[in-house]
Amino acid sequence: MEKRDAIKKLENGEIKMYQLDELFSSSDATDIRREYMEKISKINLENISKYALNMDKASQKNIENPIGTVQIPVGIAGPLKINGKHTEEEFYIPIATSEGALVASINRGCSVITAAGGVNTLIIDDKMTRAPVIRTKSIQESYKIKIWIENNFLKLKEIAETTTKHGKLIKIDPILIAGNYVYPRFNYSTGDSMGMNMVTIATEKVLEFLEEETSGEIISLSGNACVDKKPSNINLIEGRGKSLIADILIPEEIVHSKLKTTAKSIEEVNTIKNLIGSAISGSMGFNAHYANIVAGLFLATGQDIAHVVEGSLGITTAENRNGNLYFSVTLPDLPIATVGGGTSLETATESLKILGCYGSGKVEKLAEIIVGTVLGGELSLMAALSAGHLAKAHKIHGRAN
């Protein structure tokens, strides 16, 4: 079939877009879909048509019905000195964003951190969750299933781990009950993979056994208590993905010379803005803009961008210590990977290689770099706010109307 014939068949409804992959190579199918969209929308998609990705590979596991790609500028911040358990190095950080001033702000934070001797980073927990919902006939039956799960954990662990070489079932906790519905939260370690597919398959296997052995009825493999790609208090408290903390003590002279403010002023703004302001508005993120830095790194390194909503959760603290500034960030919920998913896309692979984080055995290193970068970006913004420089910075970097 010729390309022009395929476009006519799409117009006439004789074939569907996804069927083009059975009739043409992935790159040709991509071109046909794009030309069809150009024709029906009367728009030239010249820029979407330009890409360096291997569309044959991407079509197998990253995208359906592709017509091309979007492009986002990638900037570099750094060097950033990390003092962590998994790495003690200086890094240049690739940030993909269209927000003017963001890379410049992160870059300033990196400069302050490195001048102060580096940011201290720790991974305090590591798990991926899946929480199905089970229906019972009564609260008594719900409670029985809760106890059954607790009493049979080792058996359920054995069953779950038959589905994966890398995943380990750590615990099933908490087991939430709402009347005749039970929501057990399965917690797994997943190695270098983000692991959402891994834990889904493992949990499904466990649920098959549960239905055979109990009176419970599986309503959904996900009951939303996971909680995946949504802001939630349980993830803020219990953690999900990598749970991370970072801190630094910045000498008074560096606060003055590089941040153009004082430790006392940053402490005050942090308390009134990030803590009280967040509390009075019911925000789950007691921070200034974690999502900005997380999104920039996620886009650059091929992470699942929807998990930025989880990465936005966290708490920033700031203390004036005799003129010196103690500053910390806590990110309880950061699902990331260095293998699988979007990390295999060519541009993501290159960004991960800049960080020395591509492939197996590198996810902890990536986690420490991300939390260190978040601290840098958060520190710079809080300093700008305390010094009254925020609007000026956006004007300089082209953000004014």
Whether 191 and 243 share a structural domain: no
Mean local confidence (pLDDT), 264-279: 97
Whether 246 and 148 share a structural domain: no
pLDDT at residue 393 is higher than 80: no
Whether 51 and 193 share a structural domain: no
pLDDT at residue 75 is higher than 90: yes
Q: Tell me, what's the pLDDT at 388? A: 85
pLDDT at residue 399 is higher than 60: no
What CATH number corresponds to the domain at position 186? 3.30.70.420
pLDDT at residue 397 is higher than 80: no
Whether 214 and 247 share a structural domain: no
**What confidence category does residue 400 fall into, taking pLDDT thresholds of 50, 70 and 90?**
very low
Model confidence over 92-147: pLDDT tens digits? 999 999 999 999 999 999 999 999 999 999 999 999 999 999 999 999 999 999 99
Model confidence over 350-384: pLDDT tens digits? 999 999 999 999 999 999 999 999 999 999 999 99
Whether 185 and 331 share a structural domain: no
Q: Tell me, what's the pLDDT at 390? A: 58
Tokens of residue 237, six digits? 């408290």
Residues involved in catalysis: 99, 304, 394
- Residues facing residue 168 across a β-bridge: 189
Number of domains in the chain: 3
Whether 186 and 303 share a structural domain: no
Whether 294 and 378 share a structural domain: yes
Q: Tell me, what's the pLDDT at 398? A: 56
Q: Tell me, what's the pLDDT at 191? A: 87
What CATH number corresponds to the domain at position 240? 3.90.770.10
Residue 55 is part of which domain span? 3-61
Q: Tell me, what's the pLDDT at 392? A: 60
Whether 169 and 209 share a structural domain: yes
**What confidence category does residue 1 fall into, taking pLDDT thresholds of 50, 70 and 90?**
confident
pLDDT at residue 10 is higher than 70: yes
Q: Tell me, what's the pLDDT at 202? A: 97
* Residue 80 lies inside a defined structural domain of this protein: yes
**What confidence category does residue 394 fall into, taking pLDDT thresholds of 50, 70 and 90?**
low
Model confidence over 43-64: pLDDT tens digits? 999 999 999 999 999 999 999 9
Q: Tell me, what's the pLDDT at 22? A: 94
Domain boundary among 39, 61, 83: 61
Whether 369 and 268 share a structural domain: yes
pLDDT at residue 276 is higher than 60: yes
Q: Tell me, what's the pLDDT at 173? A: 96
Whether 32 and 16 share a structural domain: yes
